[in-house]
Amino acid sequence: MNDTVLSSKYNVYGAITEKIVRAIREQKGKFVMPWHSIEEPLGFPINAATENPYRGVNILSLWIDALSKGFANGYWASYKQWQSLGAQVRYGERGSLIFFYKKFEAAETTDGVAEEAPRYVGKASWVFNACQVEDWTPPASKEPSPVVIDETVAAFVKATEARIYHGYRMARYRLDLDCIEMPSAAWFRDTETSSAVQSYHAVLLHELTHWTGPAHRCDREFGKRFGDRAYAFEELIAELGAAFLCAAFKIANEPRPDHAAYVAGWLEVLGSDPRAIFTAAHKAQEAIEYLSVLASAKLDRTSEAV
């Protein structure tokens, strides 16, 4: 975020928070997932290096891992196979276990007669999904993205140097790998309350706000499980942060009813504490200001180098 975005004639943080509170009181709208769910069958997992489909129990094993880890890509390969394709498995990613049989040819005696039949020995191996690697482009995308990425937002996000990867079934910030996973832009859709463009940017900026949370950034407490109070409070912060940024970048000037409904849902987890949203708004403001300073410093260095 640059100085132009920051210099506002009104308190964007307070104004947006008050609008959300008012929308919650009016109880309008409900939260709608802004991207398409992946409804088509997963298809057979395919080895990215050999282009052969996996077989037997490995199909079920890789399906389970794809669903549990949010992968929406059917390509897999071992660490060495990805390297042979010019790709690199990201640091900290965990592989998925597969099982295969390796054929050992029959040994021969001195008179050329086979001593025994060929043997097949079971071996275990670890493979990684295409979503877990960098520098690899899958075969032809199914459809072009209808979302036009806002250049100002893109420059801001890039300047933060947050690591962001697309192609996942869900959007989330991964604390263990310190990266953001996003659905592909092509999967976002228009809803009754927002366009696909607004939804994509709101989700991205929500996750970017989460990214500010670790101790070496803004030092916020993350929940240990879905639905606990710390988790709920962090979700409030991220959603308010997204609202503030969307307003600052003029992606969406008014909080949407489904946005307010999302905030209201997490307020219920917090026991409808009337102070919670304003405390969360303060934390969200800290996160946005942290991002602003971080991005501005990078953009200033870039402009000086030109």
| Top-confidence residue, 156 or 65 | 156
Q: Determine which helix (DSSP H) or strand (DSSP E) holds 46, and give its type and residue range.
A: strand 46-47
The rounded distance, in Å, linking the Cα atoms of 255 and 134 is 35
- Please give the model's pTM, rounded to 2 decimal places: 0.71
| Band (41; pLDDT cuts 50, 70, 90) | very low
| pLDDT for residue 78 is more than 80 | yes
Predicted local distance difference test score (pLDDT) of residue 38:
46
| Top-confidence residue, 201 or 4 | 201
Predicted local distance difference test score (pLDDT) of residue 140:
62
| pLDDT for residue 81 is more than 90 | yes
Predicted local distance difference test score (pLDDT) of residue 25:
72
Structural contact between residues 255 and 240, judged by C-beta atoms closer than 8 angstroms: no
Residue 64 main-chain phi, psi, to 5 deg: -60, -45
| pLDDT for residue 36 is more than 80 | no
Matching residue, tokens 């959007």: 171
Predicted local distance difference test score (pLDDT) of residue 277:
85
Q: DSSP assignment of 213-266, as one string?
A: -STTTT--PPPSSTTSHHHHHHHHHHHHHHHHHHHHTTS-SS--HHHHHHHHHH
Predicted local distance difference test score (pLDDT) of residue 2:
46
| Band (290; pLDDT cuts 50, 70, 90) | very high
pLDDT in tens, 199-215: 899 999 999 999 999 99
Which pair of tokens denotes residue 168?
Answer: 């996942």
Predicted local distance difference test score (pLDDT) of residue 211:
98
CB count within 10 Å of CB 56 equals: 11
Q: What's the average model confidence in pLDDT over 263-279?
A: 80
Mean pLDDT of the chain: 80
DSSP 158: H
Q: What's the average model confidence in pLDDT over 45-59?
A: 85
pLDDT in tens, 162-200: 999 998 888 999 999 999 999 888 888 887 778 888 889
